[in-house]
């Protein structure tokens, strides 16, 4: 494991879940980590392990002016709440962020000696939600210091669905790993588990298909349906003529609805990813096209995170997708 890791990939694909599993693996004291039965594993799965820190976006009113110790205690409570939900939480809403009090607390915790084991694992979920602020006191700056002078007994795992929104200085100091969407049968098995069914009810095949490999999107409510129909409009435009593409570009909302636009990109990526899985076995040429299409979507996501006008991004994306031949 590298000392600093960045897990990136679609929203709801399970990046923070994977980070928690990696944390458990590192903290485990059993034979084949993660054994699931040792004390460390138990504490890690209950999210009460003293050497496991998990920061994720919260509402500003709750935490903004807290001292580091208060913040740590607050996040401990938030972790316990998520553990109670069985690890099935709704995606971050637009009004939640990672505030300077949180990155100060993270730095404070990082210099502590591990309480139980040999290392500390610190997870920063949705790291693109670091609230940008000018000056040395910005949350990103505190984090940068930690990345510049890594501590030998600390593993830092960041996750993001918008790597383009992270500072280049942060991206250049972490090892990036892309987390791929789940295959449809994996997603189905997940949705059929008792705890998941208790939370979201019986998911019919159409709903599972719309989730396109991102289990978390099934916990998101209607936002996901909106994203799926948005992506469907793009695909229709790709199959159609110049007029259809014109309509698709013109129907984009002006900048400002970044979250919704990124969700639509996620939905498009999921759909094309499913096609890619099929094509890898049946049609190599088409598979190569679909791989290039994923790059085009990645580029669009990067532009979206820099607040480029969604209509412009859509026009460029549709052009690139046609160039690689995805409409075929």
Dihedral pair phi/psi, residue 30, rounded to 5°: -80, -170
Distance CA 219, CA 71 (A): 27
Distance CA 305, CA 207 (A): 28
- Nearer to Zn ion by Cβ, of 1 and 198: the residue is 1
Residues 6+ apart with CB under 8 A from 320: 296, 299
- Nearer to Zn ion by Cβ, of 41 and 231: the residue is 41
- Nearer to Zn ion by Cβ, of 116 and 151: the residue is 116
- Nearer to Zn ion by Cβ, of 41 and 268: the residue is 41
Distance CA 158, CA 137 (A): 20
CB of 19 to Zn ion, least distance (A): 17
Residues that bind Zn ion (CB under 5 A): 28, 30, 35, 38, 41
CB of 202 to Zn ion, least distance (A): 34
- Nearer to Zn ion by Cβ, of 44 and 304: the residue is 44
CB of 47 to Zn ion, least distance (A): 15
Is residue 271 packed enough to be buried (19+ CB in 10 Å), middle (13-18) or exposed (0-12)? buried
CB of 176 to Zn ion, least distance (A): 27
Identify which of 3, 103, 109 has the alpha carbon closest to the alpha carbon of residue 50.
109
CB of 31 to Zn ion, least distance (A): 8
């Amino acid at each position: 494991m590298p000392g600093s890791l960045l897990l990136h990939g679609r929203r709801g694909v399970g990046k923070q879940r994977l980070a928690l599993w990696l944390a458990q693996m590192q903290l485990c004291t059993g034979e084949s980590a993660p054994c699931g039965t040792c004390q460390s594993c138990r504490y890690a799965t209950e999210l009460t392990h003293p050497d496991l820190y998990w920061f994720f976006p919260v509402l500003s009113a709750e935490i903004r002016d807290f001292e580091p110790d208060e913040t740590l205690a607050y996040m401990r409570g938030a972790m316990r709440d998520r553990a109670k939900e069985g690890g099935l939480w709704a995606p971050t809403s637009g009004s939640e962020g990672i505030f300077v009090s949180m990155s100060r607390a993270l730095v404070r915790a990082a210099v502590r000696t591990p309480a139980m084991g040999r290392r500390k694992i610190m997870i920063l979920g949705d790291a693109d939600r670091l609230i940008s602020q000018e000056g040395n006191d910005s949350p990103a700056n505190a984090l940068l210091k930690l990345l510049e002078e890594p501590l030998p007994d600390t593993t830092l795992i960041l996750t993001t669905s918008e790597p383009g929104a992270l500072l280049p200085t942060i991206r250049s100091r972490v090892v990036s790993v892309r987390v791929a969407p789940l295959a449809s049968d994996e997603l189905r098995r997940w949705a059929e588990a008792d705890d998941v069914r208790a939370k979201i009810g019986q998911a019919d095949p159409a709903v599972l298909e719309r989730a396109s490999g991102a289990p978390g999107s099934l916990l998101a409510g209607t936002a996901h349906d909106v994203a799926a129909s948005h992506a469907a409009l793009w695909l229709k435009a790709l199959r159609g003529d110049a007029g259809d593409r014109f309509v698709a570009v013109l129907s984009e909302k002006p900048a400002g609805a970044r979250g919704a636009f990124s969700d639509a990109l996620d939905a498009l990526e999921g759909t094309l990813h499913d096609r890619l899985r099929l094509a890898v076995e049946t049609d190599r040429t088409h598979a190569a096209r679909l791989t290039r299409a994923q790059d085009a979507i990645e580029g669009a996501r990067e532009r979206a995170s820099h607040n480029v006008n969604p209509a412009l991004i859509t026009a460029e994306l549709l052009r690139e997708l046609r160039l690689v031949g995805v409409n075929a």
